[in-house]
Amino acid sequence: MSEPTPGPDQTRKPRVAVVFGGRSSEHAISCVTAGSVLQAIDRDKYDVVPVGIATDGRWVLESGDPDRLRIEGPGRLPSVDGERAAIALARDSDSTDLVVTEASQPPRTLGEVDVVFPLLHGPWGEDGTIQGMFEMAGVRYVGAGVLASAVSMDKAYMKIVLQAAGLPVMASVTVTAREWAADPAGCRERAGTVGYPLFVKPARGGSSIGISKAHDASELDAAVEDALREDPKVLVELSAEGAREVECGVLQALDGTPETSLPAELRVGGDHEFYDFEAKYLPDQQTEIDIPADLPPGLAAELRDLAARAFEAVGCEGLARVDFFVMPDGALVVNEINTMPGFTPTSMYPQMWAASGVDYPALVDRLIQLALARDTGLR
């Protein structure tokens, strides 16, 4: 076990770097999440440095204006302004702090950062990659570590870990781009063993981008091709027909114990057959949410227990949202675990915690405090 490293300098307010944007297809949703967090952080308690990652991977000093980071309608999604001043991040040799420097002439040091709040969704941010960078630098950050982030991002491996922990999951097979190109007939045969209808998903995607429902074999090829455009690894999963979709938030207490929120049920309306990108994020999509979900007390308690078990099975830290199917016979099945769920005030995770007595600013503060308190290095 590595020795704990000193905490932040207590003679000044802790400085938080809010990192958002990124290279994944969920770039815009990360920006929306960041706008909400930037608005909620208590500026009397914390100094804030907004750091954007452009779609080409360039790190820039962002404005931090929450109004600029909003979805204003279809085709009007926010993004990181890649033309802003580039920044460099370096470890302070005398502490565990990260020093942010603007690459201007001459370079301008923006100060030390005590903790990073990475609000990145999808690959190159939610999958353990940026967490690994912070671990290498010995920098404190909000949320799950490298392994938990990577396992939870990859839905195929997530199922393996959850099954090993005795948690129920839907039947599925994986298909890679190489397998699809070399033996499409064999891939179709394997998919058929799962049964129809089924969902075809990018294995390491989120926000329902690239997901299709194949009602029968005639729709499989198009669904696989669509998912492969997002990820060279695809999950083909049995559809939970007739099931209710119920979610539960998990949040660590300051002593590390996972606490669970009241569960929430969502019902997709309008023309949406499932909870796709538009139903999740665009206004006026007729999606209804019940918090708490209308479940028998015993079933609700079982669901919350399974959410905490899933959180610990992948070795999660900080926060997670665990999504379930409540099958027609009342059985519970874990759909997935999300280590950086949507974090706008209207997202499910903050809403569930608000209904459970933890409002949005308190939720943000708890996550920062958890990150400031934990050790760097092996935990």
CATH superfamily of 172-238: ATP-grasp fold, A domain (3.30.1490.20)
DSSP state of 236: E
Q: What is the pLDDT of residues 48-57, one digit of tens each?
A: 999 999 999 8
For tokens 């499910």, the residue is 348
Would the pLDDT of 2 be above 90?
no
- Domain positions in the chain are 15-143, 151-168+242-339, 172-238
Among candidate residues 66, 46, 69, the one with its CA nearest the CA of residue 116: 46
User: What is each CA distance from 279 to 91, 271, 312, 337, 365, in whole angstroms?
Assistant: 42, 9, 30, 19, 29
Q: What is the pLDDT of residues 265-307, one digit of tens each?
A: 988 765 545 555 455 445 555 678 999 999 999 999 999 999 9
Question: Please, what is the average pLDDT of the chain?
Answer: 88
High-pLDDT (> 90) share of the chain, %? 66
Q: What is the pLDDT of residues 308-317, one digit of tens each?
A: 999 999 999 9
Q: What is the pLDDT of residue 357?
A: 97
Q: What is the pLDDT of residue 1?
A: 39
* pLDDT band at residue 9 using 50, 70 and 90 as cut-offs: low
Among candidate residues 17, 30, 120, the one with its CA nearest the CA of residue 61: 17
High-pLDDT (> 70) share of the chain, %? 85
Q: Which is it for strands 264-267 and 244-252: parallel, antiparallel or unpaired?
A: antiparallel
Q: 15-143 — its CATH code?
A: 3.40.50.20
Among candidate residues 200, 268, 243, the one with its CA nearest the CA of residue 332: 243
- Give CA–CA dist 22/70, Å, rounded: 16
Three-state SS at 266 = strand
Q: What is the pLDDT of residues 59-95, one digit of tens each?
A: 998 887 888 887 766 667 888 987 787 877 766 665 5
Q: What is the pLDDT of residue 271?
A: 59
Q: Look up the pTM and report it.
A: 0.87
Instruction: Identify which has the larger pLDDT, 133 or 8.
Output: 133
- Measured N-to-C along each axis, helices 129-137 and 146-153 cross at an angle, to the nearest 10 degrees, of 180
The first and second tokens of residue 244, run together, are: 């209710």
Q: What is the pLDDT of residues 358-371, one digit of tens each?
A: 999 999 999 999 99
For tokens 């404190």, the residue is 140
The residue-averaged pLDDT of 107-123 equals 84
- Give CA–CA dist 10/17, Å, rounded: 17
Task: Tell me which H or E stretch contains 101.
Answer: strand 98-102
Sheet holding 198-202, edge to edge: 172-176, 233-238, 198-202, 212-214
The residue-averaged pLDDT of 160-182 equals 97
Q: What is the pLDDT of residues 138-157, one digit of tens each?
A: 889 999 999 999 999 999 99
Q: What is the pLDDT of residue 344?
A: 83
Would the pLDDT of 225 be above 90?
yes
Neighbours of 66 (CB within 10 A): 16
Three-state SS at 149 = helix
The first and second tokens of residue 66, run together, are: 């929450």
- Give CA–CA dist 45/12, Å, rounded: 10
Instruction: Identify which has the larger pLDDT, 273 or 131.
Output: 131
Q: 151-168+242-339 — its CATH code?
A: 3.30.470.20
- Give CA–CA dist 259/307, Å, rounded: 9
* pLDDT band at residue 379 using 50, 70 and 90 as cut-offs: confident
The residue-averaged pLDDT of 348-353 equals 96
Neighbours of 243 (CB within 10 A): 18
Three-state SS at 158 = helix
The residue-averaged pLDDT of 36-53 equals 94
Residues 6+ apart with CB under 8 A from 75: none
For tokens 């060279």, the residue is 232
Q: What residues form DSSP beta bridges with 107?
A: none
Q: What is the pLDDT of residue 214?
A: 95
8 Å CB contact between 377 and 5: yes
Q: What is the pLDDT of residues 231-259, one digit of tens each?
A: 999 999 999 999 999 999 999 999 999 99
For tokens 């490293």, the residue is 5
8 Å CB contact between 235 and 211: no
